[in-house]
Structure 1
Amino acid sequence: MNNNLLFDFTVDKAAKTVFITREFNAGQSLVWDAFTKPELLDQWGAPAPMRAKTKYMDFKVGGRRFYAMISPDGQERWGVQEYTSITPKTNFKMYNSFADKDENRELPGSEWDYNFSEQNGVTKVSITIFNESFERMEKILDGFTIGFKMILTNLEELLTTLSQKL
């Protein structure tokens, strides 16, 4: 296992943008699937002790994922991701916003741009997150930073398990 994998998490408050670069010791196809298939997303997409639950996902341009992060006591925090661009295996973009259980969005949201590349069996995922509102970014930043780092660790563990099964 490669323990020298890149993990960079940078916040540019002036630009209202978060930049995340993370390498995974897994093939690009598997990493892509982990980000684009609900049955895999739900296995890593929430920081412990929470869990992720996708109500539905239609991974196509104009399609949506409606999902929740559920706390151990059953509280649900819903979100909507709308896919705006997809280049299979290498890039997808989406608009993300919080929502209520009836899918009514809480605006403003954020624009996410995911890029995937592989070299020597290591896949690099670069994520750029632009927040429409500085106030929204400030409000969620601390919890988001901790939580997102946790879920990327969850993803690394899942990818290790899945890669061993291949």
Structure 2
Amino acid sequence: MSTLKFDFTVDKAAKTVYITREFDAGLDLVWDAFTKAELLDQWVAPAPFKAKTKYMNFEVGGKRFYAMVSPEGQEGWILQQYKSISPKTNFKLYNVFADKDENPAPTGSDWDYTFSEKDGITTVHITIYNESLDRMEKMIEMGFKEGYAASVENLEKLLTSMK
């Protein structure tokens, strides 16, 4: 069993989810895993789903458009727009569900990722602010916590294979 920290807190009043996760890997590897499409596609979807990036432009104002693909081939599209990037320490994005033609849902969420490393352990803090409580509650009901935990296990395996 991993002794690495994994905190997941939901604050309904603030419409915010807070995640803190430690990884037994250097900052450069963890940063790349969160910012490069070819790596994101290997871990971000909880099994048996797969992630498929149509395009990704990791720069301020750039976007990532990708799908979570079910084993039956059903695609759930997500559009992300990068709001700010401080290399190796922080990036922020706006995340919204979309259709295959990139038409966004009415509400989304702001994700704020902060990275730090100490003694070879990289900590990632994620704050997810939802524009509506209804959207956040639907995310939680859909199994967001369990799905994210499964995705992070995929990431641990990927980081181990990259060392």
After TM superposition, the score normalised by the length of structure 2 is 0.97
After superposing the two structures, state which structure 1 stretch, 134-143 or 102-111, moved more: 134-143
1:102 and 2:74 matched: no
Write the distance in 2 (CA, Å) between the matches of 1:32 and 1:76: 26
Cα displacement (A) at 1:124: 0.2
Corresponding residue pairs, total: 162
1:64 and 2:63 matched: yes
Give the partner amino acid of 1:73.
Answer: E
Following TM superposition, the consecutive aligned residue runs of length 4 or more in structure 1 with deviations greater than 4 angstroms are none
1:72-96 deviations in whole A, cap 9, x for unaligned?
Answer: 0000000000000000010000000
Give the partner amino acid of 2:130.
Answer: N
1:127 and 2:126 matched: yes
Relative to structure 1, the CA distance from residue 54 to residue 18 in structure 2 (aligned partners, 3 Å threshold; closer, same or farther) is: same
1:35-79 deviations in whole A, cap 9, x for unaligned?
Answer: 000000000010100000000000000000000000000000000
Q: Which residue of 1 aligns with 2:14?
A: 15
After TM superposition, the score normalised by the length of structure 1 is 0.96
Cα displacement (A) at 1:4: 1.8
Cα displacement (A) at 1:135: 0.5
Q: Which residue of 2 aligns with 1:55?
A: 54
Cα displacement (A) at 1:145: 1.2
Write the distance in 1 (CA, Å) between the matches of 2:114 and 2:97: 23
Give the partner amino acid of 2:30.
Answer: V
Q: Which residue of 2 aligns with 1:148?
A: 148
Gaps of 5+ in 2: none
Write the distance in 2 (CA, Å) between the matches of 1:125 and 1:113: 10
After superposing the two structures, state which structure 1 stretch, 153-162 or 48-57, moved more: 153-162
> Secondary structure at the residue paired with 1:107?
coil
The share of aligned pairs that are identical, in percent, is 67
Write the distance in 1 (CA, Å) between the matches of 2:155 and 2:83: 24
1:98-140 deviations in whole A, cap 9, x for unaligned?
Answer: 0000000012000000000000000000000000000111112
Write the distance in 1 (CA, Å) between the matches of 2:9 and 2:151: 16
Question: C-alpha root-mean-square deviation of aligned residues, in Å?
Answer: 1.0
Q: Which residue of 1 aligns with 2:84?
A: 85
